[in-house]
Amino acid sequence: MGMYPSPGAMPPGGMPPPPPPMFGPPMMFPPPGFFKPQRSFARVIFTTLATAVFGLSVTLNLYLLLYAGLGGLGGGQGITQETVVAGSSDERVAVIPVSGIILKRTAERFDELLTSVEKDKNVKAVVLDVDTLGGAVAPSDEIHARILRFKKEHPGKPVVVTMGSFATSGGYYISCAGDYVFAQPQTLTGNIGVILPRFNFSKLAQSYGVEEVTVTAPEHGFKNAGSPFAPIKQEENQYLQGLIDDAYGKFKLVVSTGRQGRLTKKIDDIANGKVYTASEAMALGLVDELGYANDAYAKAASLAGLSNKEVVRYAKPVGILEALAGGADGKSNVGGGATGGVTVNGVNVKIDAGLLDELSRPRLMYLWRGQ
């Protein structure tokens, strides 16, 4: 008798027979497609760049569409006032913060804040709290011009600047409108110059049969100058350089006028695009004194002849769209710091509209890109 029961027979104890072994299809090695040719590295890079540019463009346009169509969500609340230093209510020093990338909305918000300050008869002096890497040329110039208009219409009210971590490029452009400028000992400032960010993918596109076929009128003019997919032309570079040089000349004029009699070197030697430490800026005459915000408050009170100053910080709360742009904490553009975002399920999400805008199309910038 064998040790194992015959097929179909019941095993001892009446237990059912074990199921037959299960076998899957035979494994193939190597698996199918293992040696399939991969896309070239250049193709991957090109596809990634094209996708990124398209994605940035779509995101920015959606953002701008929402911003324009739902402006009521963009921060329609009134101006807030926070007492920083208690004192006599009729001897008020108003603090207006300017921070984040300087864009059109920054200039608009600044105008709203300064207009509110102008309506407050108790305000006797203004302190600009500047902490920005700079931004677009036109908004920086708008803020500078608005400060000059305030000084002209209110000659007895001094404007003092206190610089935070950064007051570079457009941030310094704005600061030149102040009567007296403080820099913290660790402030970085200067960076007097203009940049036109450009990226050119024409050689990469040509290798994959992508050709720039944009139609313009005039046919051989400069309407499409600076296109990232068209070969670089010397005459277009000269044309764009002329635009930059004009903005650069305005920057130098602003510095020479605002710091008249205080610069220790010629403007062309100072306006070389370099970022200066606070001590270097002090030696060049770009700032008047090293100190902190409290020192600026005291100086403003002294220039205005106040004996018991009250320091009040003016701000305007941001709405949901501006929060997505980087200021959910009330620190976007004018009114706070350079960081922010919205917390979603414990994750901080930040869409920097200024960066998206900068990457999606060329524009003249008073901006330091070192950070």
Phi and psi at residue 11, in whole multiples of 5°? -70, 165
- β-strand pairing of 180-183 with 289-290: parallel
As to burial, measured by CB atoms within 10 angstroms (0-12 exposed, 13-18 middle, 19+ buried), residue 20 is: exposed
C-alpha distances out from residue 199 to 39, 61, 166, Å: 24, 20, 26
Q: Tell me if residue 350 is catalytic.
A: no
Q: Are 150 and 123 in contact (CB under 8 A)?
A: no
Q: How far apart are CA 279 and CA 24, in angstroms?
A: 76
Q: Which amino acid is at 272?
A: N
| Token duo for residue 206 | 């040509």
Q: Residues near 174 by Cβ (< 8 Å), separated by ≥ 6?
A: 98, 102, 128, 130, 132, 140, 143, 144, 147, 167
Catalytic residue among 99, 116, 169, 175: 169
Q: Tell me if residue 169 is catalytic.
A: yes
Phi and psi at residue 295, in whole multiples of 5°? -65, -40
| Token duo for residue 362 | 């060329």
> What is the sign, positive or negative, of the torsion defined by CA atoms of 131, 133, 135, 140?
positive
Catalytic residue among 89, 207, 223, 265: 223
The residues annotated with a catalytic role in the active site are: 169, 223
